[in-house]
């Protein structure tokens, strides 16, 4: 563990941290010490983000539960920081349950949300539940209820609802109207009635999720689906909680405004109405996105008739969001920020035309060996990294209390073949 100056003023809590707010000298120092590509995750910033959203919903609701959607980042250091803040873990796969338990989560406070859950997943989570009877299992099909009953489950059950309303930054993450997710809205009352009559399970909650990365323009859809879920919860009755999912976005572009999370919480309360059940929500991206950045080194400069190509040592295997979603991530030259600006195409070493982080974006022209930072990579960054193209996954550096440490070591070539041996 290395002593360092904190990345940001620990007394400040801006609604969003922009890429330019990171300390360039510190990031260059981290790149020199730990090599690149390297993920940097600021645990103090994650704590700030959690406290802000928890305070906003505490002010609007009576005793809400703000969980952490583990799929955004399943690293132990991140989960430990959020567990320390009191956040229960919302897990969308058995492996996430396993990792949450390893990080110290109380199994009674874990919520498992299975989407077309494989048999092995159900076997594992029911096994955990047998020793933790307050654990809540959340499923989105009546078929999954039957499969749980076959395994002897008779505990706390939540049903995922498809509200027919979707929102989010990309079609691939708009879940609220996709048939894959949840029981059709109009069918839910009958399903609840059958489950209560035919199975020895306690239906304690309903759940829905509109999508991921919602900003101001999505708040009308958010309010509409929250209102529908409030109506449904009142119709079903006798619930402990209503889980409205997460999906609160952060601005990846400098010209986008951050959510006023206090206003979002108040509008959620107004849309929901009076309800004899507590509120749950499960942010992921909101807590993590601006707490992370990705460091990379320039290795190639190639002028072509169409564009200038800048090759870096990070790739779509390191950060897949630009290739998968066309997502925008800010890019900052940490070594030569005042170099002449020109349209640049920045890409990695993978033999795919999709392995680009931007195309013809005006940026300071780098030189070979320059360090660059890619912003807003804390959520769905390392979590979606892969070994495609036999690329070892990068090191992850955690910042906390003015110190840096390795949260996950860099993979080696030996790691690529370890399971084959």
- State how far the Cα of 190 lies from the Cα of 236, in Å rounded to an integer: 9
Helix (H), strand (E) at residue 76: helix 76-84
- Helix, strand, coil fractions of the chain, as percent rounded to 5: 35, 25, 40
Q: Does the structural domain 2-42+289-420 have CATH classification 1.10.1060.10?
A: no
pLDDT, tens digit (0-9, with 9 covering 90-100), for 105-159: 999 999 999 989 999 999 999 999 999 999 999 999 999 999 999 999 999 999 9
Question: What is the C-alpha to C-alpha distance for residues 215 and 289, in angstroms, rounded to an integer?
Answer: 14
380 is in an annotated binding site: yes
Please say if the pLDDT value at position 240 is more than 60.
Answer: yes
Annotated ligand binding at 325? The verdict is yes
Give the model's pLDDT for residue 308.
97
Q: What percent of the chain has pLDDT over 90?
A: 86
This prediction's pTM: 0.93
Partners of 408 in the β-ladder: 396
Question: In 10 A of CB 50, how many CB atoms?
Answer: 22
Parallel/antiparallel/unpaired status of strands 292-303 and 38-42: antiparallel
Give the model's pLDDT for residue 386. Answer: 97
Residue 378 assigned as binding residue: no
321 is in an annotated binding site: yes
- CB under 8 Å to 373, separation ≥6 — which residues? 19, 22, 24, 27, 293, 294, 295, 296, 331, 332, 334
Annotated binding residue at 284?
yes
Beta strands in 269-418 (DSSP E): 278-281, 292-303, 308-312, 331-333, 341-347, 356-364, 371-375, 395-400, 403-408
Active site residue 351: yes
Catalytic choice (91, 158, 293, 351): 351
Domain 43-287 is found in CATH 3.20.20.10: yes
At residue 6, the pLDDT reads: 35
Residue 283 among known ligand-binding residues: yes
Q: Are 308 and 301 in contact (CB under 8 A)?
A: yes
Question: Residue 83 has which token pair?
Answer: 């567990």
Q: What is the pLDDT of residue 209?
A: 83
Cis-peptide into 37, omega within 30 deg: yes
Domain boundary assignment for the chain: 2-42+289-420, 43-287
């Amino acid at each position: 563990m290395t002593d360092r100056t904190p990345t940001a003023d620990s007394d400040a809590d801006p609604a969003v941290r922009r890429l330019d707010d990171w300390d360039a000298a510190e990031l260059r120092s981290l790149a020199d010490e730990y090599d690149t590509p390297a993920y940097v995750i600021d645990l103090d910033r994650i704590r700030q983000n959690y406290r802000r959203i928890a305070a906003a919903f505490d002010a609007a609701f009576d005793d809400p539960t703000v969980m952490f959607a583990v799929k955004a980042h399943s690293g132990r250091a991140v989960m430990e920081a959020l567990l320390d803040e009191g956040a229960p873990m919302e897990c969308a796969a058995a492996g996430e349950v396993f990792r949450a338990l390893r990080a110290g989560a109380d199994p009674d406070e874990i919520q498992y949300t299975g989407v077309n859950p494989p048999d092995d997943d159900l076997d594992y989570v029911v096994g955990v539940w047998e020793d933790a009877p307050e654990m809540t299992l959340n499923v989105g099909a009546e078929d999954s209820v039957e499969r749980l009953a076959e395994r002897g489950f008779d505990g706390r059950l939540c049903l995922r609802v498809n509200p027919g309303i979707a929102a989010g930054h990309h079609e691939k993450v708009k879940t609220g109207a996709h048939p894959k997710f949840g029981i059709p809205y109009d069918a839910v009352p009958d399903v609840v009635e059958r489950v209560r009559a035919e199975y020895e399970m306690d239906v304690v909650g309903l759940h829905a999720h509109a999508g991921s990365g919602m900003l101001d323009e999505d708040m009308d859809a958010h309010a509409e689906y929250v209102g529908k879920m409030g109506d449904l919860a009142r119709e079903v009755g006798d619930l402990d909680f209503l889980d409205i999912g997460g999906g609160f976005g952060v601005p990846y572009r400098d010209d986008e405004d951050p959510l006023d999370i206090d206003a979002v919480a108040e509008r959620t309360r107004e849309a929901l109405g009076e309800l004899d059940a507590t509120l749950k929500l499960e942010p992921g991206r909101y807590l993590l996105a601006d707490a992370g950045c990705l460091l990379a080194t320039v290795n190639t400069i190639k002028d072509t008739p169409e564009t200038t190509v800048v090759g870096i040592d990070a790739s779509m295997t390191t950060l897949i969001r630009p290739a998968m979603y066309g997502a925008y991530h800010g890019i900052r030259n940490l070594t030569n920020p005042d170099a002449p600006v020109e349209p640049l195409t920045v890409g990695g070493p993978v033999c795919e035309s999709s392995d680009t982080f931007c195309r013809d974006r005006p940026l300071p022209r780098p030189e070979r060996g320059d360090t660059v930072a890619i912003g807003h990579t804390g959520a769905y960054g390392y979590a979606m990294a892969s070994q495609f193209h036999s690329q070892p996954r990068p090191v992850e550096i955690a910042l906390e209390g003015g110190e840096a440490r390795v949260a996950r070591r860099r993979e080696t070539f030996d790691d690529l073949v370890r399971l084959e041996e």
